[in-house]
A = this chain, B = another copy of it.
Amino acid sequence: MTTIDPSAHLARVRETAPLIHNITNFVAMNAMANVLLAIGASPAMVHAREEAAEFAGLAQALTLNIGTLSPHWVEAMLEAASAARAAGTPWVLDPVAVGATAYRRKAARQLIALSPTVIRGNASEIIALATEGASGRGVDSTDAADSAREAALQLARETGAVVAVTGEQDLVTDGKRLAWVEGGHPLMPRVTTLGCSLTGVVAAFIAEAEDPFVATVAALACYAKAGEIAGQDAKGPGSFSVAFLDALYGLDAQALTDRHLEIHHV
């Protein structure tokens, strides 16, 4: 068993300010850009088929989120993922509500075939991806991360991706190693697109990392800690959102000293 220090990963993001190219849903765009700026990365939202592949070549990491699809966007996602793969740029898939419709399942299948470095979803989404037969109710997960343990391991082994299942507790696995991340706050699911924004933070952490599994765990630990800090004085989801951006921005090594992240071999 080894341990991870998330503060070193955070420091590297702030030093390198990686350019993160995002094709994400309309609901998340603004919030995700603000989260990435607060953590020290440089976000760009570029989705047109006419430029997505070219732009993917400029970025240090790419995220693809299927929250609000349309045919034009699916094509741009496929081209961006192909360009990232060809350039060796890491990329993260966010399979929002993948169980809800046939259109989403098909898009997710096509994207997974292009070898995402990390897949980040809630338990319902990861189970839906692993089993293909399950169906989800919408964007909110009704399952705890623990219930997706087997599905996450299976998905990681089949795809070669790091799989992160986020919820009250987070679980990360690459099929051989597994880590749990504690923290966060009960108001987090009451603020829209905090999960989508976390996908961007994962991308920022894996952008220059040697080991995407370790970097993903570090990203989740920083996010959870910022959630804890933000929750201390929040009166509701409005003041929580504001405090969360401030907490991400102010996060430092001292705030992260209580994070003991253990990696288990499975």
Contact = CB atoms under 8 A, between A and B. Distances in A.
Interface in A25-79: 25-31, 33-34, 37-38, 42-48, 50-51, 54-55, 58-59, 67-72
Query: Which of A54, A70, A243 has most B Cβ within 10 Å?
Result: A70
Interface in A233-254: 235-239, 241-250
Contacts of A263: none
A42 B247 contact: no
Interface string A76-105: 000000000000000000000100111110
A183 B78 CA distance: 43
A172 interface: no
A27 to B, nearest CB: 5
A201 B175 CA distance: 43
A55 B238 contact: no
Query: Which of A48, A189, A235, A239 has most B Cβ within 10 Å?
Result: A48
A140 B102 CA distance: 38
Contacts of A58: 100, 137-138
A228 to B, nearest CB: 15
16 contacts: A25-B45, A26-B29, A26-B45, A37-B189, A42-B139, A43-B139, A45-B67, A45-B68, A48-B68, A51-B100, A54-B102, A58-B138, A235-B246, A236-B250, A237-B249, A239-B246
